[in-house]
Amino acid sequence: MTTIPRPPRLLRRVLAVAAAVLLIVTFTPASPASAHGSIVDPASRNYGCWARWGSDFQNPNMATLDPMCYQAWQWNTTAMWNWNGLYREGVAGNHQGAIPDGQLCSAGHTGDGRYNSMDAIGDWKAAPVSNSFSVKLWDQAMHGADYIRVYVTRQGFNPLTQALGWGNLELVNQIGNTPAAQWTPESAGGVSIRIPATASGRTGRHIVYTIWQASHSDQSYYFCSDVLFGGGTTTPTSAAPTTRAPVTTAAPTTRAPVTTAGPTTRAPVTTAGPTTRAPATTGGGSAGCTATYTVSSQWNGGFVGSVNVTAGSAAIRGWRVTWTYANGQAVTNSWSATITQSGSSVTATNAAYNGSLSAGGTTQFGFNATWTGSNSVPALTCTATA
């Protein structure tokens, strides 16, 4: 009989460890799904930016076609891939205590500031809806809900010029505990539910704000959806969520890195309170105006700026704001104003829809720009047309 020699002691130990690892890999249960969910109709800011640009996020045309999404992708690319993770833990139902005014769309700068760009004031893509509408929540991980609350901004709120605060919202509907088993299965995975709502008396631009208290630990999700109310009572419908596989981690390794974005470790956007302001000057006479310059967010090589224009003691029909950069900054694109630049001199004139302001009325325009070395705040001159 042939005797098979025993392997050396070291080899026996290596084989034993390998067998144990194989056993663990083979029999360890699958980990819980890391995906979560979002409002997909009318699309939340984070979901909408991913749905429109996730397969083409390096397209430079985004800067002019969808500038608010552009600044969001520039601020933190990972937040866009993780569009379904905008939540906080341990709020215990005290939403207003956990999230300050001006930070509602980022869930109070959750995720170490990853989603701060959601708070940026400006011309986000708005979905047309009727006064009787519904919001569709896509729950990828099938958490279900302890409750879902739907709010709409009050008539008179202007998302183009105002930061969202709790006092701007009105609760229009809510539902209680609904297990995921009662929701509608989605072909793209997970389940969805629609919550009907009625926002009578609303016209024009508004924000629909949804709080989803998931039946999973103490996770509270917060979503801002930009809408345009046109009246009527027909409930809009939308296509099912995109069938692209949702990404729940940082950008895939097979994608080229975003070459224009700043590092993800940069300081959070301080959209609740402007980071810097320039002293405003006014045109002569009672039909004057003042302008205030703000750096909304900044990263290596680029920044998002905004300017608030306020009419004086009399109504105005138009305005023009000028400033001179001292450090070679260059405006690359703008919204809610026409901006021209010659050397260091910049001129911004009103758009067709925001030139007329009542006495004391205000509006805002924004822009993306580049900088190197320094990004000092310029002094502004505002001239009004009576």
Q: How far apart are the first and last CA of the chain?
A: 111
Most confident of 72-76, 131-135, 160-164, 352-356: 131-135
Cα separations (Å) of 21 from 17, 26, 31?
6, 9, 17
The residue assigned the tokens 């300017």 is 307
More confidently predicted of 198 and 262? 198
Pairing outcome for strands 191-198 and 132-139: antiparallel
Q: How far is CA 237 from the centre of its chain?
A: 23
Q: What is the pLDDT of residues 352-384, one digit of tens each?
A: 878 999 999 988 888 888 998 899 999 999 999
DSSP SS3 for 79? helix
Comparing CA positions, the residue from 223, 138, 131 lying closest to residue 172 is 131
Pairwise CA distance, residues 386 & 132, whole Å: 40
- Both tokens of residue 327? 């450090």
Pairwise CA distance, residues 307 & 134, whole Å: 34
Q: What is the pLDDT of residues 192-231, one digit of tens each?
A: 999 999 999 999 999 999 999 998 778 999 999 999 998 5
Which amino acid is present at 15? L
Q: How far is CA 11 from the centre of its chain?
A: 55
Model pTM score: 0.58
Pairwise CA distance, residues 370 & 26, whole Å: 52
Helix (H) or strand (E) holding 151: strand 145-153
Dihedral of CA atoms 269, 332, 60, 245 in degrees, nearest 10, equals 20
Mean per-residue pLDDT over the chain, rounded? 80
Cα separations (Å) of 282 from 161, 183, 277, 353, 384?
19, 56, 15, 21, 8
Comparing CA positions, the residue from 370, 290, 275, 274 lying closest to residue 325 is 370
Identify the weakest region by mean pLDDT among 46-50, 72-76, 203-207, 278-282: 278-282
Which residues, other chains included, contact 33 with Cβ-Cβ below 8 Å and sequence gap of 6+?
Answer: 140, 141, 142
Pairwise CA distance, residues 42 & 210, whole Å: 11
Which domains does the chain show, CATH number per domain? 37-229 (2.70.50.50), 289-385 (2.60.40.290)
Strand partners, 221: 87, 212
